Amino acid sequence: FDKAKKDYRYYADGQSKTCSASATISNQPGVSFTATFVNIIQGESTTLEWTCADSTTSTGANFDTGGRTSGLANVSPNTTTTYTVTCKNSLNESASADKTINVTPQSITAGLSASPSSGRTPLATTITAVAGGAGQTDAISGIAAGAW
């Protein structure tokens, strides 16, 4: 079948007849899907970018494409999450791609300090507890005080 040729000649009962044929030829859709960071710490974000080729629409799993065939989406998953973009052409043929974003839980730090930490008896001191994670630190001062 020659897609550039539209008319074909055939013979029936010794006579030449002409028939016409048409076909819809389309390219299969394609998709490119990337993430700025695939490994993040809980509370951070990453940007997903997708581009659909030979497509008329797109859908996303775990994020919204708005039907656009290309775009960016900022995501901040709390746990490891797989995102999927699916691109479709006018014949409803589709292509999909996945991107998994690995999320590491925030680290928590804790410590105690005494001020002053040494001296002669009787020693009056204040004990301070410090806890924090993800760049934040909270201190509780004076949780215990006394003379030893």
Q: Can you read off the two tokens belonging to residue 126?
A: 């204040």
Q: Give the pLDDT confidence score for residue 138 in this predicted structure.
A: 60
Judge whether 99 and 117 are in contact, CB under 8 Å.
Answer: no
Low-confidence ranges of the chain (pLDDT < 70): 1-14, 16-25, 123, 132-148
Q: Can you read off the two tokens belonging to residue 20?
A: 């016409």
In 1-56, which ranges are E strands?
A: 7-12, 15-20, 30-35, 39-41, 46-53
Whole-structure pTM over 0.85, yes or no? no
In angstroms, what CA-CA distances link 66 with 30, 57, 87, 128?
Answer: 18, 9, 12, 51
Cα distance between residue 33 and residue 52, in whole Å: 9
Q: Can you read off the two tokens belonging to residue 135?
A: 């760049």
Q: Give the pLDDT confidence score for residue 1 in this predicted structure.
A: 45
